Homo-oligomer: A and B are copies of this chain.
Amino acid sequence: MRATYIYGAGDVRVITAPDPTLVEGTDAIVRITRACVCGSDLHPFHSMKADADGRPIGHEFIGTVEEIGNDVTSLTVGDFVIAPFSFSDGTCVFCVEGLQTSCIHGGFWGGGGVTGGQAEAVRVPYADGTLVKVPGTVDESQYAGLLSLSDVYGTGWHAAHQARITAGQTVTVIGDGAVGLLAVLSAKQMGAERIILMGRHTARTDLGRAFGATDVVAERGEEGIEKVRELTGGAGSHAVLEAVGFMPAYEQALGVVRAGGVISRVGVPQYEDAPVGRRSLFGKNVTLTGGVAPVRAYIEKLLPAVLDGTVNPGLVFDQTVKLEQTPEGYISMDERTALKVMVDPT
């Protein structure tokens, strides 16, 4: 099959790789209908050390079950499925609690003998625990929405969910990437009254407004903080959803959060240490939450409104490339000429 591998910073190639085969009885082989490029794929695209062997990449996909192992009970060949960005057994203590990203037997696509999603097909470990079957017949117009459930919508939802947003609150979202915009949508669905989106790309913030943002703040740093404080009567925001992952975004979150409020992070932190003491979190009783989103926990819940068109999270996809053009998709994402690039391996 053809599959995308990364060999180092800036070096993404589509190569011929072995077809995936069943290894464990709990595996399934999925023929991929659509995949996509993630903002987090840009981290190795920026900084991965050169590796002559390369490694498979891509962790978001939808597709059709092509083969199942003997121990798979909930899926049938031909089922249309959504894969979350990590696989999980569905039965361990963490899976049962809805924290599938901490699954005792789970892992991430593209490592440990499991290949990536930007490919024609993939072996899915723990298929019963990992995959979610989409009921009914799926047509192409639904692909974008379903694919968003693989990562970005569930991740945006996780940010809002962990912040425990309640009706009437003021929420600030930092970052106008796909996750930030879907955090706006999620906050809106949870009843946030005022949603301030901090982002500077008009095409993106316009989509943010369509998803429910009531205000857009293009300024960054101290100036941006000042703007949000003005908009909140000086008090700050009950919840801050941080969908970037760089230190300036964390500092911005500290600046705009209300005393007693919550900073919920879903942008993978590109730092380890950060201010948490008396002058930052402690003195104001600010809660810091979030993490690697267990999107598997949210797919069934979010799916009906996607299928019936109540929400349209698939609008974050603004470019589609064929599998062979995946490297160009990375460049579009990196240069921000695309918000989110869908990959069509069919």
Contact = CB atoms under 8 A, between A and B. Distances in A.
Interface of A: 93-94, 97, 99, 101-102, 162, 235, 259-260, 265, 268-269, 271-292, 294
B265 A272 contact: no
A106 to B, nearest CB: 11
A280 B285 CA distance: 20
A271 B281 contact: no
A94 B275 CA distance: 23
A268 B260 contact: no
Contacts of A287: 162, 287-289
Contacts of A289: 285, 287-289
Nearest to A97: B260
Nearest to A276: B274
A280 B274 CA distance: 11
B285 A294 contact: yes
Contacts of A259: 94, 99, 102
Nearest to A238: B97
A260 B265 CA distance: 14
A32 B283 CA distance: 28
Most buried by B among A162, A275, A278: A278
A166 B275 CA distance: 29
Given A93-B235, A259-B99, A260-B99, A288 B272 contact: no
Given A259-B99, A284-B102, A287-B287, A276 B278 contact: no
A283 B271 CA distance: 12
Given A102-B260, A288-B281, A272 B275 contact: yes
A93 B238 CA distance: 12
Contacts of A294: 285
